[in-house]
Amino acid sequence: MNLFFVFIILLEKTFQRYIVLDICKDNEELNKMKNYKMVKDEEIMEILFYNDIYTLINVGKPKKEIKFYLTFTSNETQINNKEYSYSRSLTYKINNITNESIEYFEFNERQQNKTNGDYSFILLDNNENKNKKIKDNKCIIGLKPIDIKFNENTNFLFQLQKFGLIDKRIFSIIIDDIMIYENNIKKEKLLIGALPEEMNSEMYAKNEIKWTKISSNNNADNQKWVFYIDSFLYNDYKNIGMNYTYIEFILENNLIIAPDNFRIIILNDFLNQLINDNICKEDYFYNEREQKPYIYYTCQEYKNFSNKVIYFNNKDLNETFEINLGELFYRYNQKYYFGIIFNADKNKENKDENIWKMGKLFFGKYSFVFDDENKRIGYYRIEKEADKPYIILICFAIFIIFVINLAIISNKMNKSKGKKVSNHKDEFLSKKENDNNEKINKNEKEKIE
């Protein structure tokens, strides 16, 4: 009997528990921009600012499909009462002690009967809500690291772990290649509870993940997905006065918000000249959700940016992350919009002076894992064919050797076949000659007789 229980425990550990949720992109504002010919630059920057991604969950009975937007600025699950009405649901409950709402969540078909159940969340009153960060009535799943003092009951990852649906509070965004009508479509998914190597060992090498702790000193917040940069380099500028540099991931952002001292560097390097030559223009836009002004740049061309590269090195992750400025432009209406913006708030505190707030433009390029339990960030180095020219050369050399060997073998076989044919021909002629000789001898013998 004891052996049976040991077997069950080992079996549970062998099959790691995780869930996978489909991620969709909200392109409503972007589509509006495409439908109008004349859109102001500041309106375009406001639209480009956000990476509005969400997952669909059915809430309540009768069920109501709700878009839950993923965010790194909160660690709670929140539902706005404009998107959901508790009075129409037969399964709604409320915890009278904590004042938390409880409702039945039903996930996509692949996860049904595995993740469905009662989940706690914060129900927000749209009429009383004054928090501008959840403007536009968005329901959210907060993926910000949990504070020890925080009430984790409404945290999505904590609830999945508490219900035994996942083993660890870790997550990552993975890319699936799907073939639809002979077209290769890339689809994002949210993997919760396991490392990407458990899902795809071909792309994510086993035991090759590197880890770095969330930074908690020098004004960096340990309740944000932030890590320290050991060295920062811009082209050939080695000493550019940016000590204690940090990278902060902001999942809901698309653009990169860079420190203002980097703006001064590129202005002095080349951007001022482009502005004087009327190739580029500096301007401001106001972000309504954050209620902050930002500096942005538009250009008629971006070739001057293409040879400008930023390098971020982290020793723990054993990687130097690169950003080519020429790859950070959006084209709209024959104009190019630079994907790095700068905080223009004159009253801002100095604590963000050397923090790079990275949106989709950065972490969409690399593969990261976020571990809430151990407060650390993981990184997989995904080798691309362009990064491995030696592999291409080796494959080409192997192919050439294969062709040469095939030619040699084919030549030998042809020679061998030719030799056999020749031997058979000689044997046939020899035999024919012998038959003729015998025939002649026989005729001569008959004549003599």
Predicted confidence (pLDDT) per residue in 106-151, tens digit: 986 554 456 688 999 999 987 665 544 445 578 999 999 987 667 7
CATH code of domain 18-195: 2.40.70.10
Residue 273's pLDDT is: 96
Angle at 417 between CA 415 and CA 421, to 5 degrees: 115
Q: What is the Cα–Cα distance from 103 to 59, expressed in whole angstroms? A: 7
Q: Answer yes or no: are the C-beta atoms of 299 and 336 closer than 8 Å.
A: yes
- Residues 335-374: pLDDT tens digits? 999 999 999 986 655 556 789 999 998 988 899 999 999 9
Does residue 261 have a pLDDT over 70? yes
What confidence category does residue 98 fall into, taking pLDDT thresholds of 50, 70 and 90? confident
What confidence category does residue 303 fall into, taking pLDDT thresholds of 50, 70 and 90? very high
- Residues 145-174: pLDDT tens digits? 987 667 788 999 999 999 889 999 999 998
> pTM of the full predicted structure?
0.78
Residue 180's pLDDT is: 46
Looking at domain 210-390, its CATH class is mainly beta
Q: 18-195 and 210-390 share one CATH topology?
A: yes
Residue 14's pLDDT is: 43
Q: What is the Cα–Cα distance from 414 to 410, expressed in whole angstroms? A: 6
Q: What is the Cα–Cα distance from 48 to 29, expressed in whole angstroms? A: 9
Which of 69-83, 113-127, 430-444 has the weakest average pLDDT? 430-444
Q: What is the Cα–Cα distance from 20 to 31, expressed in whole angstroms? A: 28
Residue 304's pLDDT is: 92
**Residues belonging to the chain:** 449
Residue 173's pLDDT is: 93
Calculate mean pLDDT across residues 5-10: 38
Does residue 61 have a pLDDT over 50? yes
What confidence category does residue 45 fall into, taking pLDDT thresholds of 50, 70 and 90? very high
Angle at 435 between CA 433 and CA 438, to 5 degrees: 110
User: Which residues are CB-neighbours of 422 under 8 A, at least 6 positions away?
Assistant: none
Most confident of the ranges 174-183, 377-386, 410-419, 434-443: 377-386
Residue 132's pLDDT is: 45
Which pairing describes strands 77-80 and 117-124: parallel, antiparallel, or unpaired? parallel
Calculate mean pLDDT across residues 409-423: 55
Which of 274-288, 290-304, 419-433 has the weakest average pLDDT? 419-433
E-only strand ranges, 72-209: 77-80, 93-95, 100-106, 117-124, 139-142, 170-180, 183-192
- Domain residue extents for the chain: 18-195, 210-390
Q: Which residues of 124-137 are buried (b: 16+ CB within 10 A; e: fewer)?
A: beeeeeeeeebeee
Q: Which two tokens stand for residue 320?
A: 């130097």
Calculate mean pLDDT across residues 295-307: 95
Residue 443's pLDDT is: 47
Angle at 438 between CA 435 and CA 440, to 5 degrees: 110
Mean pLDDT of the chain: 79
The three-state secondary structure class of 247 is: strand
Rounded to 10°, the helix 28-35/41-48 angle is 150
